[in-house]
Structure 1
Amino acid sequence: MNELKCLPQDYVVWGTDILAKSIAKLHDYGMKRPITFTVEPLEALYRTHIEPNVENGAGLFSDLPPHVPDFAVQQALDSCFANDADSIIALGGGSVLDAAKAVSHFHQRKTGRYLPIVALPTTLSGSEFSHYFGITETNGPQKFKRSYAVRETVPRLVVMDPVLIQGTPRLLLLSSAIKSIDHAVEGMRKIDKDHPHAIMAASGVKRFFSVLMTWPDQHETNVALERGLVTADDLIQLQLAAWQCYFYPASVIYGLSHRIGHILGGTFGLPHSATSCITLAPVVRACSDFYGDKLRVFTPGAIDPASALANQISLLVQTLKLQSRLRDFGLERSKLSEVASLLTSNYANEVSDLGIDPSEKLNTLLEGMW
């Protein structure tokens, strides 16, 4: 049986120079007394575009480390209560958005009411369109990023404006695009080629490749804009591509590339946006038998769609000069056995996508990534 699950997301708005006016009329979207979650590097963006335009705001909380540690979630929740916040503006990438969802979830646990979220994404991972979030548990003998899926935490309003991403560091912005492509590809794991996800995801991946394969070398995005090497429309196209890649997140189940990324990020501290640059192409190759002909939606006409797609992803990562090896991030080779053990014990279903002798194949896969 085919099934399409929808999330309670009310509005998505996009365009050039719309951020200020969208914030000014948050009350029209049912958002009252919002507290803004962000990180220190984005405070200037907050001061310029959010603070002057928000009506009856509840202040700013910016102490949000990467990978959403549990103690930061508690501190952010406490700040919501202390400032009598009625909603959350999440200004940032996946970690900020995950923190907002986590706080909304635990606010409901305490009060019976979720805090509605306004998402202002500054990366291209697409977290603003999903109900998934992760919290890194820090109290045990080993840190572990636990995944949640709470449909009521999906941001009610998403605003996409080039100003949100034009100041994002180059490596973070571009690696987050690979994460978004990961959503598109692994979203095929449990669905057929005629599912709406397949149609939207294929369009999103094509849109990403059309813009990114000619992306200027080395320049930060704001410099590239000033020099006319990219345009505001290019940035909008990237934001729309991220949306298409993650259009129906409640209808799909992600796979081994995502799970390896959770372990690498939550337990070993690798940048979340960068993990798909390491994992996606090798996982596509290793799980080609599992995916079968499904991946042809991304590579029509290819004799071997998995290999063709993996090659395209590898070429894009190389073209953008993104780091693609575990050793590039200082992970010791001796830690690979721990990574494998955590994957096998927590994500056995995803590991089984490797086919016969999955444990042996997993070790080989990780060695290749190193």
Structure 2
Amino acid sequence: MGFTPGTLVNLPIASVSWGNGSLSLVADLLSSLGARRTALFTTAAQAADRSLMDSVMTAAPTIVLTHSTFNAHVPAADVASAADVLLDNEIDSVVSVGGGSVIDAAKAALGHTIDAGRTRPRHVVVPTTLSGSELSHTFGVTETHGTSTFKRSHARLDVTADAIVYDERVVESTPGDLWLSSGVKAVDHAIEGLLGTEALPLVDSLAFSGIRRMVESLSAETSHRGAAQIAAWECYSHPQAMSYGLSHRLGHILGGTFGVPHSVTSAITLPAVLARMTPARPRTLAAIAQALDVSQPTPTRRTGARSQPDSASVLVREWCAELGLPTRLRDVDFAQADLDELGEMTASAYPSESAVLGTDARCRLRDLVRSMW
């Protein structure tokens, strides 16, 4: 069976390294990028981890300062503070050690330096979760205007990472619940990428492989963190060819506006969204269900799947429950009185993503949100 003609454009990431001890490559990477004055961006908790910081400092001898004022959901104030660090200290390179919030804030801050007419610092990313932010040119920033708070998405090719380093030893100290929930977020990338695009031969096979590898590696997460890192890469191998869907958009509002931890939102939103997309994407959902079912061979294409499309949502929910993650909004103390506001905000901010629900999408979205509680 032939493929529909197409073109796939790669993001300008120069290198991706992986495996135990890969952190030691950072010095050579920085040297190849011409780094002389490097800023370390990380979280306060990781900055307090002496063993981790000693390893990072040894691997990146050009680090001249550490900035660790980063909070969840990437508040605009954090981005402005990070940009000031870059602009005021003649920083020519950044090493980001952290999860999606740190990496997104770094990308946003790099954008500020470009907009200020300065040469953009080079960026080496050492991820500590499975969120996949390091692989993309997109980032979210939570903006506050008066009493209104909203996490806005941005896309800039000019802030794409220069190099990525996945080191199994670096992620040994990542808390288990964060590791697991960020793995579900990675699977959400793969699934929404499959549902939101036409067939892409390379991207599709990697997405299905990533889904299966993540399910298997998280089920034995203490000894398979390296496999989970590769799975996250597969799930989000070509972000520029994929688009966020309704699950991610609901997650952005749940996190940015209502303060739900971003890492856990996919475990709540994805099963609910998939349950309502079966009529629109039956063949793709059947293949996704087969990828989630470890008793079946991993699919490589969207056609010919052996599973039923309506089992995809059930398998995701059961998997998240087995991992001990919250699967309902009430599990994260979301107020039932805020459900309709969540639905209205999502419908207003993301009409195209909401349209996948079919006719009378606003009403259907209200029912979907209520089912999540």
- The number of residues matched between the two structures is 352
The answer to whether the 8 Å contact 1:129/1:249 transfers is yes
The answer to whether the 8 Å contact 2:30/2:124 transfers is no
Q: How does 1:291-306 map to 2 (within 5 A)?
A: 291-298=281-288, 299=290, 301-305=305-309
The answer to whether the 8 Å contact 2:16/2:163 transfers is yes
Q: How does 1:6-17 map to 2 (within 5 A)?
A: 6-17=10-21
Query: Which residue matches 2:274?
Result: 284
Q: How does 1:243-254 map to 2 (within 5 A)?
A: 243-254=233-244
The answer to whether the 8 Å contact 2:26/2:60 transfers is yes
Give the gaps of 5 or more residues in structure 2: 291-298, 300-304
Query: Which residue matches 2:230?
Result: 240
- Match for residue 339 of structure 2 among 324, 329, 336: 336
The answer to whether the 8 Å contact 1:58/1:83 transfers is no
CA distance in structure 2 between the partners assigned to 1:286 and 1:339 by the alignment? 17
Q: Which moved more, 1:316-325 or 1:134-143?
A: 134-143
Query: Which residue matches 1:71?
Result: 77
Query: Which residue matches 2:115?
Result: 109
Identity %: 36
CA distance in structure 1 between the partners assigned to 2:202 and 2:20 by the alignment? 28
* 1:53 Cα deviation after fit: 3.0
* 1:96 Cα deviation after fit: 0.3
CA distance in structure 2 between the partners assigned to 1:214 and 1:335 by the alignment? 36
Query: Which residue matches 2:103?
Result: 97
Give the gaps of 5 or more residues in structure 1: 216-229
The answer to whether the 8 Å contact 1:192/1:294 transfers is no
* 1:351 Cα deviation after fit: 0.5
* 1:295 Cα deviation after fit: 2.8
**Partner letter of residue 287 of structure 1?**
M
- Match for residue 185 of structure 1 among 191, 205, 225: 191
**Partner letter of residue 92 of structure 2?**
D
TM-score of the superposed pair, with normalisation by structure 2: 0.90
The answer to whether the 8 Å contact 2:250/2:269 transfers is yes
CA distance in structure 2 between the partners assigned to 1:29 and 1:157 by the alignment? 11
* 1:65 Cα deviation after fit: 0.9
Query: Which residue matches 1:150?
Result: 156
User: Are 2:48 and 1:58 equivalent residues in the alignment?
Assistant: no
User: Are 2:21 and 1:3 equivalent residues in the alignment?
Assistant: no
Q: How does 1:1-370 map to 2 (within 5 A)?
A: 2-19=6-23, 21-32=24-35, 33-43=37-47, 44=49, 46-215=52-221, 230-231=222-223, 234-298=224-288, 299=290, 301-305=305-309, 307-370=310-373
* 1:250 Cα deviation after fit: 0.1
CA distance in structure 1 between the partners assigned to 2:149 and 2:166 by the alignment? 33
The answer to whether the 8 Å contact 1:101/1:153 transfers is yes
**Partner letter of residue 9 of structure 2?**
K
SS state at 1:52 partner: helix
